[in-house]
Chains A and B, each alone.
Chain A
Amino acid sequence: MFSNFLIWFVIVPVLMLIGLGLCRNSSMKAIRTVMVVGSTILLAMSLWLCVDFLAQRAAGAADEMLFTGSWMWYEPLNIHLAVGVDGISVLMLILSSVIVFAGTFASWKIDPLPKNFFLWFTLLSTGVFGFFISIDMFTMFMFYEVALIPMYLLIGVWGTGRKEYSAMKLTLMLMGGSAFLMLGLFGIYWHSSADPNSLTWNILEISNNAAIDPGWQNYLFCLTFVGFGVLGAMFPFHTWSPDGHACAPTAVSMLHAGVLMKLGGYGCFRIAIFLLPQAANELAWFFIILTGISIVYGAFSACVQTDLKYINAYSSVSHCGMVLFAILMLNTTAMTGAILQMLSHGLMTALFFALIGMIYGRTHTRDIRQMGGLMKIMPYLGVCYMIAGFASLGLPGLSGFVAEMTIFFGSFEHADTFHRVFVIAATCSIVITAVYILRVVGKLLLGPVQDEHHLKLTDATWFERVATITLIVCIAAIGCFPNWINETIQHSFTPIIEVINQAANSGAMASVM
């Protein structure tokens, strides 16, 4: 079992948990050492995984998933701890480890109870890593829950503002999503095979078995898509996002917007679309409407907010809407765009929230009306904020542009009016994004200094620089050299597109007969 490389992505965080548990409460140094060493190891592992993965692919490994392994966990229900990765999971693992790494540095001076904070933080990352390596629906779901629950405490204890309310709201809404999801997953399990003795949770096995009954597919698709969509901030289930992000501590916002919201998109894609292709073909239109609304609606809402975190939370609604929107286009290009958008949004939103946390730590306000001219006072943070803003509004050379363009060009492959209208509506969001980003940049960073007390503030410290530079380098790397990502993930879509096309054909056949 330990010879499988992937399982170490869960073991390392667990070791970190043990290490943290052994630290004394007051020993900041020991806690930081454990966190930095652990997150660096994770980062190195994910990069190595990517290199190894590409090497194996280049050597001709054509399996859908590589590094697979499966160990029985609970026999009566045939639950396994099954792991395996394709290109998408590899990228998601890199994203998670980058953000955990940056998040560690961003919460360098967390107060109070640093040990407990990092314990929960690491538990959350355990869930995230576990989710991305699993190919067994049950363990996937389990890790999903492991990632959600620590959120409650992290926001409730270390948050700011109306933290109890927000923590409760976020947890309850996501748990509501989980309830749908659980029903959906159980449904898929019961229909996973024609033979009642060989029911399975394994995604690959289910996709190889005979297709699920179309009538059931529709119900299950709605359940799973909505279940994951809640986490992906799909309209109208997005309202946990503004409140939750606004009250969460910096690193938690980073991890939540950066990685946790990606769990939604990834899940929709891996389970809802892949296992229920026929329903996906049939019902995509409905969810395209919802996600299309998300995109434009989130962007418009962001224009009038005055709290920095609310602006970014609404912009996340818009950008994550774009992810689900692209997934629903059901073609390779748009789905590639969705993955790129997940990476891009993860990195730049993490950067945004890190910077907001740093600015808030200095000015003690997040209201843009009370700040101004910060560029002069803290040029480093100002420049980073501008870079994050430009990434968000889609400046070429940064990641947002590549992702959005791939989505638009992929979505435009559908020639019917319905799709066209929604694609064009989605493209409008690039203008609205520019409006709210420049509004914030203009008010917050440029112009005269609003508050004289701010003149005494200092620029970034070294650990803040580590956090921001890590993220900026990744954003620029994706933006300048996007094609290697395309190459990493291009094989991953083949099976999905195949089942979708098959389903579309069989649907057409059925309607003809």
Chain B
Amino acid sequence: MALLQISEPGKSTDPHNRKLTIGIDLGTTNSLVASVISGEAKILEDNNYRLIPSRVLYEQHQISVGNDIPNHALTISSVKRLIGKKKDDIDADNIALELADSNEIFIQTPQGYKSPIQVSSDILKKLKKIASDYFGDEIYGAVITVPAYFNEGQRQATKEAAKLAEINVLRLINEPTAAAYAYGLDTKKEGVFVVYDLGGGTFDVSVLQFNEGVFEVIATNGNSTLGGDDFDQIIKNYLINKYKFNSQSLEDQANLNLIAKDIKEKLSSEDTINETIRFNNQDYQIDISLSEIEELFIPLVDKTIQCVKNALNDADLSTYEIDGIIMVGGSTRMPTIQNYIKKFFNQDLLNDLNPDEVVAIGAARQASVLSGQANDDTLLLDVTPLSLGIETMGNLVERIIPRNSTIPIAKAQEFTTYKDGQTMMKIHVVQGEREKVSENRSLGEFIVKEIPPMPAGSAKIKVTFQVDADSLLTVSAEEQTTGVKTSIEIKPSYGIEESEIRKMLEDSFTNAENDKKFRSLAEVIVDANQILELTEKAIQDDKQLLSDSEKSTIERCMNNLKSEITKKNPSKIKLATDELNNASMSFAQKRMDNSIYSSLTGKNINEINK
């Protein structure tokens, strides 16, 4: 019979509908998978290993990941540094890196060229398998963590990797946010927290603000080439210099790395190490004190402190304004680091959870909340993948909610009529990053009716975009004088593939220059047409105010402007528009005087003052 887990009150699931969820910390050096079981977040082990090295070995007929890889095999590692990137820094041990003409990165393997997304997906497949083996059941979905500084492209690439691994991504969350969840900081009312994350090869610091149930990353900083391994390196050099450890081969180097790491870990709990080490068929007697090594560590720790200072600066915060400091990454166990950070902030650290596991634990908790199996009302931070806006005159897009805005969000903007006496307005809602309406996704449209007739530009229509926590977009338009409101509801993410989102983003980058040109041309044409129309109407209405010479000048300017519009040079159109404006200035003045005169004639002074 099936084994049951204890659910939260009222959250028992139907048989076969058990939604097994996992949290995945997809790290540069190591990855972890965790799940909430009977209310308790737990790391799922891979044959007793809790950490799964983020390494993949491709052989002719086999793919091995993490702990399954035999020692000293040539593997692909640190692929996270490449994901979602074009040609950039490269860290694939002795494996040729091929750059295709599209700037995409491919890694040559015995199984053909692999993209970083494919390599990541192989790691994710392994993590998913660990979980499904543990439960003996299918995994419903996963929360995957990404660094706070990951851009949209890197996030989309991570999602694609998950899709390739057939993982239903419930959400990507930021690593520091996951750490904060693990410490239950979301149960507090509000606060500002610093997450100090010293991984194997990278250092990240994030400043998180928790407010009204939402964690927001307000500043990040770090060093992508500084990590726990650098501390090992220092000990290694120290062993070579002081104790004359003699390493020749690559294998010696690798062994010495392990010895150094071991010493670092021992010094996290002991003040001195006095022992004999067997290395390369030779015995080395070592006698190392923590204080001796600490001195060598200081420059590295100082580097991290500088990053922390920069992040605090960006967030415009002082150390005393920080409500908690979370330590993430195995290397933060080092007393040198703990003491330093404690002194810097002048307060105790949040370090009672395993710093290697805290991100995965937080992700597992989130996954459980998202699948509706846990009792938790925490709001979750998500962002709009693409900008949302409406069509304006000239086939242009006016963006109301920019891409990457955290949801829920509401934003309003006022629009006006283009023509005199205009009583209707079409609100066409579009999604995308391009300037031209037709290059974006059309989400829907509706018509605002009953706009009272008034001169062009006088009506005020307030258009409000609101995206709720479930990404449901409501667009409403309100005519300000009558208060008549029209609205539409849209699910913007519906029917859009991640690859499509990515393509739209990339198109907007590659077409940025064209788009800019298109917009500047469209804008001047809209202006020019409007002034042409107004002038034509004015001439028709008030011919008697114009002298013949004035009339011919104005008409000449109008014809010139019309011909410039067909030539499509924005600056020349602008010039011709200004000319027409100048030529018709005195005519406009006379018309205005005339209308004031006619509206005032026959009224006494008291009436006018009303």
Q: Are A and B genuine complex partners? A: no
Binding site for A on B (CB under 8 A): none
Binding site for B on A (CB under 8 A): none
